[in-house]
Amino acid sequence: MLPLTPQDPDFEARVRASFVRQAFMSTLGARLLRVEPGLCEIELDYRADLTQQHGYLHAAVSTAIADSAGGYAAYSLMPAASSVLSIEFKVNLLEPARGERFVGRGRVLRAGKRMSVCALEVEAWHAGRATVCLSGLQTVMCLANQPDGLTRG
């Protein structure tokens, strides 16, 4: 287990550059907030075109910002010439995702050379008050010597 110390001093710029390459984040209108060693937050505004049949945010949309936040939390601790891949995650949808704004957060629980584990959560902000609507766990893999910008298929 590695400490939560970045191996790459430019980790934040590297994470932000990768986020820009995630076209789906821009489709959702998601914005990258905090990027710290082992921590990442991604924010999203409610939009009617992101909802499920009851008018709440679709579980896959809250999962999207949680999954990307976890991946980047782990990526912040990886070497410069690497890329990151989620291999599995599990989420509990604690409450309907009702609100004007949603914040996805990933925190590294274990930073390994190859495999890292993150805790995920999403807060739904409604009338100035946050409710945790999603709680999750995720495993991500580090692809060593595969810089993120070059690996698109």
Q: How far is the CB of 136 from a copy of itself (least distance, A)?
A: 7
Single-letter residue type at 14: R
Footprint of a copy of itself on 2-41 (CB under 8 A): 18-19, 21-24, 26-27
Stretch touching a copy of itself by CB under 8 A, among 6-14, 31-39, 84-92: 84-92
Q: Does the protein bind a copy of itself through residue 148 (CB under 8 A)?
A: yes
DSSP 48-116: GGGB-TTSSBPHHHHHHHHHHHHHHHHHTTS-TTEEEEEEEEEEEE-S---SSEEEEEEEEEEE-SSEE
Stretch touching a copy of itself by CB under 8 A, among 5-13, 36-44, 94-102: 94-102
Q: Does the protein bind a copy of itself through residue 54 (CB under 8 A)?
A: yes
